[in-house]
A and B are shown apart, each in its own frame.
Chain A
Amino acid sequence: MSGDNAWLYRRRRVNNALALVLASLATLFGLFWLVWILWVTASKGMSALSPTLFTRLTPAPPGDGGGLANAFYGSAVVSLIALLIGTPVGIGAGVWLAEYAQRRALGAVIRFLNDILLSAPSIVLGLFVYSLVVKPLGHFSALAGGLALALIVLPVVVRTTDEMLRLVPSTMREAALSLGVPQWKVIVQILLRSARAGVVTGILLALARITGETAPLLFTALNNQYWNSNLLKPIATVPVVIFQFAMSPYDGWHALAWAGALVVTAFVLVLSLLSRLLLARTKVTHD
């Protein structure tokens, strides 16, 4: 009988140890890919990095001696359009959800759908903008690309604004309202101001997401081998150029694609680090 017990005890101990070892291995497995991917991007990108990357236009094949200047410019323009459209609408919707829709069914529905939009396939959002803008206008344009990315910015900003405003203590609302301050002033001058760091975090996160976004740009902003400042014309963007160059058979284009990939990855990682720091600071001030 006691032999049985000892055996059972040992088996449970072994099972436990096995589970914990497997859990540690799973973590190593996850970190292994992170290190591998970042290492490859850094090493291949570094060897292709040069000052002309930012000063020269995308070259014709085979792609020696060019840069990605027009693509960086295009990405900046398209991202700026996306932020200019997505941020105000997103903040507005987030404020409505947090301040006006606490116990309303419509608020719950929109919050629910916003979370779905957050994970919806970006390529389908691109198709929507294609039929909304590109098809009626008859041509691809930087504006359409910006609009497609705005649809990705929107849910991120809505969600963070909503969450950050709900962190603001309700005593602050009540204090302001009891002084007779109109509600819109309470929201703009008091609540949004105290949640500012959180809202900015949301915008940074949204920018990080659209920086590497490729799929919806393929058939909205399209691509352009030349410099373009016309918002109604197709424009080159870094992710789309990376896609085009990486899928090509030319070594010069491959090298440029890796250099672009390194810049995009570094930018995105810095943005997410920045937003993480900002968020950590807000949490401290709220506690």
Chain B
Amino acid sequence: MTRPEPPIAKSEAVQRDASGMPVPVSTGVMQAAAHHARDAHNDVLFRTVLLASALLVLAALLGTAGSTLWGGRLAFQTFGWSFLVSDHWDAVNGQFGALVPIWGTLMTSVLAMLLAVPVSFGIALFLTEVAPPWLRTPIAAAVELLAGIPSIIYGMWGLFVLAPFLADHADAWINDKLGTLPIVGRLFQGPPLGIGMLTAGLVLAIMVIPFISSVMREVFHTVPTRLKESAYALGSTTSEVVWNIVLPYTRSAVIGGIFLGLGRALGETMAVTFVLGNAHQFSESLLMPSSSIASVIANEFTEASSDLHRSTLIALGFLLFCVTFVVLAIAKLLLLRLARKEGNA
């Protein structure tokens, strides 16, 4: 009668020779030891390769920061701090100031946030408290489709459809009604061109709404049901529960979601390039064409006439990278804070 095979068939097989006869134990031990050594060696090798790939992520970020700083050194050395405050952009005479692109980047992103944050909050509120449950998944999926549309499609739509529409129907009204207001009126005076910072801000807002609303929706779901039900039991209305229970509980993550959207808006290139008009003339008006850091790089990099011009564009890229890095890092830290409260991190 044969012995039933033990569960570890492999090590058993090692201890028999070709004819099935057991080999002396010492050889088997040595073979097993060699096997172990090989496994250990492979494990170390595997682990090292994996670590190297993980370090490549680190290298990609450091490389981006380092190479743009190095590539932009000529511009930084030539212009010094005045690079940040000068609005003089003259490629022929080699004079470059970054004020207009920096201003354009900040203004379009701020405009986008002013519009996107309340709308995203409304969508998240609708999807977590208002809509009947069967409607929530399809609408959430539809809103997230907006995030999937490539930015170049937003740009084309903005240039060919939205800009003419605004030029015909909105810009004149804005100029006449808002342009006459005291103090802020200057922001809204301008010819009905259709392209400009206001249009870019609107397109950016549409692009970041799905990012912000999906973060908000997810964190609203983390609020413990018993907290909300306690408030309802005390007679709170839905809006009071959201305002007094849900928002305070998720505050840091909600702000994190907003910063995530801001980081996206600051670095967005194609959509803005289409509708901003690539003007280097400084203007207070939101109806006037302007430029952003990303759009200047996209428009001028391959046509840069001199080393200084190219270096200036790379230096702008470095500034953009630093700003978005800080914004996204803040976003991530704020989001982690809620995750920690939840015990997920």
Contacts and interface: CB of A to CB of B under 8 A. Distances in A.
A268 B328 CA distance: 25
Interface stretch (B177-185, B246-254, B319-327): B319-327
Interface in A11-48: 12-13, 15-16, 18-20, 22-27, 29-31, 33-34, 36-38, 40-41, 44
B269 A121 contact: yes
B63 A124 contact: no
Given A27-B122, A92-B49, A120 B325 contact: yes
Given A92-B49, A121-B321, A116 B237 contact: no
Contacts of A121: 266-269, 294, 320-321, 324
A30 B202 CA distance: 12
Interface stretch (B21-29, B67-75, B166-174): B67-75
Nearest to A267: B150
A265 B153 contact: yes
A214 B50 contact: no
A213 B149 CA distance: 10
A246 B156 contact: yes
Interface stretch (A76-84, A176-184, A194-202, A224-232): A176-184
A222 B302 contact: yes
Contacts of A155: 57
Interface stretch (B12-20, B93-101, B140-148, B283-291): B140-148
Nearest to B121: A26
Interface string B299-312: 00110000000000
Interface string B69-101: 011000000000000000000000000000000
B68 A128 contact: yes
Contact of B71 (A127, A154, A214): A127
A249 B99 CA distance: 30
A123 B317 contact: yes
A50 B253 CA distance: 48
B123 interface: yes
A127 B152 contact: no
A65 B60 CA distance: 42
A27 B139 contact: yes
Interface residues of B, number: 92
Contact of B145 (A34, A112, A113, A130): A34
A239 B150 contact: yes
A110 B54 contact: yes
A120 B268 CA distance: 9
A127 B54 contact: no
Interface in A196-216: 208, 211-215
B239 A212 contact: no
B301 A219 contact: yes
A247 B298 CA distance: 13
Interface in B307-344: 314, 317-318, 320-321, 324-325, 328-329, 332
B188 interface: no
B122 A25 contact: yes
Given A23-B130, A26-B122, A124-B321, A34 B239 contact: no
Contacts of A242: 152, 156
B269 A215 contact: yes
A92 B273 CA distance: 36
Nearest to A120: B324
Contact of A16 (B160, B240, B325): B240
Contacts of B201: none
A117 B57 CA distance: 8
A114 B39 contact: no
B294 A113 contact: no
Nearest to A184: B46
Contacts of B264: 119
Nearest to B71: A131
Given A41-B153, A182-B43, A128 B141 contact: no
Given A19-B238, A247-B274, 4 more contacts: A12-B237, A16-B239, A96-B54, A258-B156
A-B pairs with lowest CB-CB distance, top 7: A212-B150, A26-B122, A121-B267, A92-B53, A19-B239, A16-B237, A184-B46
7 contacts: A16-B238, A27-B122, A90-B53, A100-B51, A120-B64, A121-B268, A265-B149
